[in-house]
Chains A and B, each alone.
Chain A
């Protein structure tokens, strides 16, 4: 009975998260269009994309691993949905457990891993270039991302529970209102751009150079699953940042929900602005940037946090 309840809740959260995610990706596209002095797509654009992709033929390449090719995009969607479900439980039901912060760190890697698995099983040369870039990108942004997660965890009394972090911020004010908080927020914002794979760090699927990169062989609904996973990440990653740094108010009451949406939109718009004002970086530049400056600043931020600034 309990199992059925969890499974049903998973399916429900998949649909809800997809609808929210597709709508939120439209906000991103529309804002990009307005920044470039265009009109931009209508609100139902992303829904039309997914419905269209579900009606197209699925081509599976001959010289690849067929099982992995089909399984990898589904894995990506499932892990992104589980991330969303965990965050929803923390915010809405006030339900969590001791290590859900660490669980989320692991779960957020899996969508990138699914791209790597899918690309490497498609048997295409350009896809292999794409996955090599994605792997290096994953290695590079993960270090500052974790720096950005450690800072609020130390601030809230060395806890790895999201609920404890929210409670601490409700008593002592949001984590961002301190020097180390600002440093951590900037770091996690930039590395989350790599996480959702938007422009300065979208070199794994660079359209102009390697023709779609890891996703080059995907068509039909399998491509749609990747798009869905990306749009769900657009919901999950900014709300994760809101929980860690901006107080992450509980969404039980209507006003609390509204405040959460405003905070979420602020983070989303910041990510969109970063995406629209920066060109795509080369992989060695990305590596130097993340492991050099950003990690140094992150370690500095951790030291500040430990000394209580």
Chain B
């Protein structure tokens, strides 16, 4: 394993993309970044701009207004980057899959690396999902 990949696994900077979610997953993500769960011990911090990010935490079904925005954020992120679909909506569409505004799920629009289902997923399960992914990453 190269040094740069090792470093990437130890310092993931997160950018939070909302593709038209109901706000539940967003609140859980904010919860994840509080001192109680302390993800900085894995080197994970919240980045202010997609240019600084390594991980895109995407929530929500991607609705028709959001498609262009989500694509643009993905293009603005310097590669290598990891895309995480948080919540049932961005994994599969959830209860909104037959809705008229549905343009997703997320993996129709941008390549997704990690799926974390749950409505909303607990902060613990988000951490568990990312840690499992980091173990697989080579």
Query: Which residues of A line the B interface, CB within 8 A?
Result: 29, 33, 36-42, 44-45, 47-49, 51-52, 54-59, 205, 207-208, 211-212, 215-220, 223
- Going nearest first, the 7 A-B pairs with the smallest beta carbon separation are A55-B4, A207-B48, A51-B7, A212-B48, A57-B78, A48-B10, A52-B7
Contacts of A45 in B (CB 8 A): 10-11, 43
Measured CB to CB, the closest approach of chain B to A272, in angstroms, equals 15
Contacts of A223 in B (CB 8 A): 51-52
Can you give 17 A-B contacts (C-beta < 8 A)?
A38-B40, A40-B40, A41-B40, A41-B43, A48-B11, A48-B43, A51-B3, A51-B4, A55-B80, A56-B54, A207-B46, A207-B48, A212-B51, A212-B52, A219-B51, A219-B52, A223-B52
Contacts of A49 in B (CB 8 A): 7, 11, 43
Contacts of A207 in B (CB 8 A): 46-48
Q: Is B8 an interface residue (CB 8 A)?
A: yes
Measured CB to CB, the closest approach of chain B to A195, in angstroms, equals 21
Determine the distance from Cα of A138 to Cα of B10 in the docked complex, in whole angstroms.
34
Q: Is B76 an interface residue (CB 8 A)?
A: yes
Number of B residues, CB within 8 Å of A: 24
Contacts of A208 in B (CB 8 A): 48
| Complex: chain A residue closest to B44, CB-CB | A41
Determine the distance from Cα of A39 to Cα of B44 in the docked complex, in whole angstroms.
13
Contacts of A212 in B (CB 8 A): 47-49, 51-52
Contact indicator per residue, chain B 1-25, by CB within 8 Å of chain A (1) or not (0): 0011111101100000000000000
Contacts of A52 in B (CB 8 A): 4, 7-8, 10-11, 54
Determine the distance from Cα of A52 to Cα of B38 in the docked complex, in whole angstroms.
21
| Complex: chain A residue closest to B2, CB-CB | A55
| Complex: chain B residue closest to A41, CB-CB | B40
Q: Is B69 an interface residue (CB 8 A)?
A: no
Determine the distance from Cα of A212 to Cα of B47 in the docked complex, in whole angstroms.
8
